[in-house]
Amino acid sequence: MCINAFNTSRFLCYQVYLYGGQVTSWKNNSGEQQLFLSKKASFKPPKAIRGGIQICFPQLGNHGVVEQHGFARNRLWSVDESPPLPDTTSDCHIDLILKQSEEDMKTWPHSYELRLQVALSPRGDLILTSRIKNKNADGKPFQFTFAYHTYFSVSDISEVRVEGLDTLDYHDNLQSKIRCTEQGDAVVFESEVDRIYLSAPPKIVTIDHEKKRTFVLRKKELPDVVVWNPWDRKAKAMPDFGAEEYKCMLCVGAARIEKPITLRPGEEWQGRQEISPVPSSYSSGLLDPEMIQQMQRI
């Protein structure tokens, strides 16, 4: 089952599947798709949906004791009937909730509530807010990591650059997670990349020169950033991914990996990711996106 939401005043829309609590589509007011979804994606358990924005909890990758990227992206969520007050003025939002199942308890024996709000701001920004609460009745804390595994649709991966990560340390998952330091003024793509950038600034920019489109990603309580593209050889080995699709996608998502979160019973953690599409002339060190849009309206 999927849910479609529309901002009728600006003809913006997005789509969320209850399976995985996953955003699978986000279109601008021209109807242009801004997220990547593989043509080979599976929408049936136990496979996660390949593309969109995956919710990785209680871990990213194999940084933990449960399955790859955790179980949240492989479970059926519910519509949240009693959501907290929204953190946005948008009237275009969807609230979902996930609670532990018997299957989860076998590998991760904790009681939790994971709430997700997906919203469109009045200007068309896509905002995801997650709340995780420890509901253990036995007084035990639990620890977890988290990520919004965000698949952007791009024109040509070789023409894309990610700014805002220069001089940062990162874990290179292609080299046994060794710690490296970014040497370039931007991240560019000529081969497979699978990195976790540590303690990144709150604003990261992905520039797609050919589409003349830039994504500004803002994050809160999510200090790290995941950057991933499988390139040709790995793409061919993935059954739910087209052999040539690596050319038109890039994952850049906010995460909390290096320093896991610990919650005592009754405590709640909240994280947020906001994506703003802005003109391609924007870069991480220049004008704020809101200022650019104000200038365009003049």
Give pLDDT, residue 61.
Answer: 80
Give pLDDT, residue 294.
Answer: 45
**270 beta partners:** 131
pLDDT of the chain, 298 residues: tens digit per residue: 677 776 654 556 889 999 999 999 999 888 899 999 999 999 988 899 999 999 999 998 876 678 889 999 999 999 998 888 666 566 689 999 999 999 889 999 999 999 999 999 888 899 999 999 999 999 999 999 999 999 999 999 999 999 999 999 999 999 999 999 999 999 999 999 999 999 999 999 999 998 889 999 999 999 999 999 999 999 999 999 999 999 999 999 999 999 999 999 999 999 999 999 987 665 555 544 454 444 344 3
| 73 appears as a binding residue in the annotation | yes
Which residue ranges make up each domain of the chain? 1-281
Give pLDDT, residue 40.
Answer: 97
| 195 appears as a binding residue in the annotation | no
Choosing among 3.40.50.300, 3.40.50.2300, 3.40.50.150, 2.70.98.10, the CATH entry for 1-281 is 2.70.98.10
| 50 appears as a binding residue in the annotation | yes
* Alpha carbon distance 191, 54 (integer Å): 23
Stated pTM of the model: 0.91
What DSSP assignment string belongs to 86-127? PSSS-SEEEEEEEE--HHHHHHS---EEEEEEEEE-TT--EE
Contact (Cβ atoms closer than 8 angstroms) between residue 282 and residue 291: no
Residue whose entry in the numeric block shows the structure tokens 């997700």: 116
Which of 72, 82, 78 has the alpha carbon at shortest distance from 96? 78
Give pLDDT, residue 92.
Answer: 87
Give pLDDT, residue 29.
Answer: 81
